[in-house]
Amino acid sequence: MAQDHSGVLLEDINDTLSQILEATSALKDVPSDIRQLKDDVHDLKSDMKIVKAAVTDTSREQKHHGVKLGNHEGRITHLERST
């Protein structure tokens, strides 16, 4: 007598499909997360350009005026005179 295993196979297939559905439903937010991450990186790049420009300008200004970083008194005096 042959046993009918189709019920067991259908239940296994149903469980597998449920797992696939659960896994793929978690992926629906990924595109928006990636877009947000790209925007954040773009903002950081812009901010770093501004910081780099400010540091370069400050460094050039200090070299131009002969101000050394360790010379706090000289830096303070220089700032006071420029205002």
Q: Which of the pair, 1 or 34, is modelled with greater confidence? A: 34
Please write the tens of the pLDDT for every residue from 57-76. Answer: 776 666 666 655 566 777 77
Which pTM was predicted? 0.42
Cβ–Cβ < 8 Å for 22, 14: no
Please write the tens of the pLDDT for every residue from 5-55. Answer: 888 899 999 999 999 999 888 888 788 888 899 999 999 999 998 888 888
